[in-house]
Structure 1
Amino acid sequence: MNKKEYRKKIHLVLNELSERQMIEKSSNIQHMLFTSEQWKQSTVVGVTVSRFPEVDTHKIIERAWDEGKKVVVPRCIPQNHHMEFYEIHSFNDVEESFFGLLEPLESLAKISPNDIDLMIVPGLLYSKNGYRIGFGGGYYDRYLAHYSGVTLSLCFDEQLVENVPTDTFDIAVHHIIGEGWLLEII
Structure 2
Amino acid sequence: MKRSLRNEILAKRKAQPAAEQKGKSLRIAQKLLGLDEFLGAGVVAAYLPVNGEVDTAGIIEAARKAGKDVCVPVVREGGAMCLVLYGESDELGRGKYGIPEPLEKPERRHVDMVIVPGVVFDKFGHRIGMGGGYYDRYLKDKECVNVGICFDFQLVEKIPNETHDVPMDIVVTEREIIRIEK
> Shorter-chain-normalised TM-score: which range?
over 0.9
Give the secondary structure class of the aligned counterpart of 1:123. coil
Give the secondary structure class of the aligned counterpart of 1:62. helix
**What's the counterpart of residue 136 of structure 1?**
131
Instruction: Write the distance in 2 (CA, Å) between the matches of 1:97 and 1:91.
Output: 18
Instruction: Write the distance in 2 (CA, Å) between the matches of 1:148 and 1:32.
Output: 22
Instruction: Write the distance in 2 (CA, Å) between the matches of 1:58 and 1:86.
Output: 17
Percent identity among equivalent residues?
Answer: 33
Q: 8 Å contact 1:88–1:94 — kept in the other structure?
A: no
Instruction: Write the distance in 2 (CA, Å) between the matches of 1:91 and 1:52.
Output: 23
RMSD across aligned positions (CA):
1.3
Shift of 1:59: 1.6
Give the secondary structure class of the aligned counterpart of 1:110. coil
| Structure-2-length-normalised TM-score | 0.94
**What's the counterpart of residue 119 of structure 1?**
114
| Structure-1-length-normalised TM-score | 0.92
TM-superposition CA deviations, 1:53-88 (whole Å, max 9, x none): 210011211111111110011111352x32111101
Unaligned runs of 5+ in 2: none
Number of equivalenced pairs: 181
Unaligned runs of 5+ in 1: none
TM-superposition CA deviations, 1:156-179 (whole Å, max 9, x none): 110000111212210100000111
Instruction: Write the distance in 2 (CA, Å) between the matches of 1:14 and 1:57.
Output: 16
* 1:146 and 2:141 correspond: yes
Give the secondary structure class of the aligned counterpart of 1:59. helix
Instruction: Write the distance in 2 (CA, Å) between the matches of 1:27 and 1:19.
Output: 12
